Structure 1
Amino acid sequence: MPTTPRNRVLPSADDQAARFSRQREADRAAIAEDYVELIADLLREEGEARAVDVARRMGVSQATVTATIARLAKAGLVETKPYRGLHLTREGGTMAEAAKQRHELMVRFLLAVGCDAETAEADAEGLEHHASEKALAAFARFLEGREKGK
């Protein structure tokens, strides 16, 4: 019998711990991915990415951005120079592109299952970081099937 929410069995402690661990790691990675994706968007759309713009668009303080950018620079994702804007390293650019693709896939999927555009954009911000590669592949297959059927 297929597992449904009503007859679901509690997973083993090891399986459940692994699931929670994956979600905590996704939470940590989400911040880096959001920052590099925003920096890439600002560079593309405005020609520069400044910490003050990142703070305004993220809805956080300048001090929070400064601390986060320092961590991203230490991780090799962002480059900073005094009195100059923010720039992505090759690794940061790769991360930003992957995050953008996941975001766009989530938006398309949410629109396909009936969400309005505003909800799809807002919800994709969190879901893009927490969906597994298997789930993302399934979403892509679902969308391909729908597009072929049109």
Structure 2
Amino acid sequence: MDKATLHASREDYLEAILVLQKQKGMVRSVDIARHMEVSKPSVSHAVTTLKEGGFLTMDDDFFLHLTDLGRQVAEQTYEKHRFFTDLLTEAGVDPALAERDACRMEHVISQESFEHLKNAYKTKEE
């Protein structure tokens, strides 16, 4: 697995934890596996990597909690995802395809370029 894929995967897991926390309050690995449609061993490996990287913690009841760093990455990724999904859907792209494409786009655009694009789009709407 190359560095970009690992990075995108890490962002996807953090984003999933953020979304699930908003929906359910508390999140366990099994919730992530169901949400992302991946195996429990895949989630276990990702959780270990994310804990080692300082992006999340696990309490004694096996609930996952984003650290400040993890929350920041998750929120940036989720914001990009929503922006691109909405933009593509408004342009007439099928919603399911818009979700898939947005998931790819959120990982390849730099934060700086995203901010400029978002600001330009806001200015255009006003």
Q: TM-score, normalised by structure 1?
A: 0.73
Which ranges in structure 1 are unaligned for 5 or more consecutive residues?
1-23
**Counterpart contact for 1:109–1:143, Cα < 8 Å:** no
Deviation by residue 1:114-133 (Cα, 9 ceiling, x = unmatched) = 31322212211111101234
1:119 aligns with 97
Q: Which amino acid aligns with 1:123?
A: D
Deviation by residue 1:81-111 (Cα, 9 ceiling, x = unmatched) = 3433111111111111111111112112213
1:38 to 16, 30, 33: 16
Q: Which amino acid aligns with 1:65?
A: V
Matches within 5 A, 1:134-149: 135-148=113-126
Structure whose CA Rg is larger? 1
1:49 to 13, 19, 27: 27
Matches within 5 A, 1:1-150: 25-133=3-111, 135-148=113-126
Which ranges in structure 2 are unaligned for 5 or more consecutive residues?
none
Q: Which amino acid aligns with 2:93?
A: C
CA distance in 2 between partners of 1:130 and 1:124 (Å): 10
Across the two proteins, how many residue pairs are aligned to each other?
125
Deviation at 1:34, TM superposition (A): 0.8
Q: TM-score, normalised by structure 2?
A: 0.85
CA distance in 1 between partners of 2:116 and 2:72 (Å): 23
Q: In the superposition, relative to structure 1, how do residues 128 and 26 fare at CA in structure 2: closer, same or farther (>3 Å)?
A: same
Deviation at 1:141, TM superposition (A): 4.4
- 3-state SS of paired residue (2:100): helix
- 3-state SS of paired residue (2:54): coil
Identity of aligned residues (%): 31
Moved more, 110-119 or 42-51: 110-119
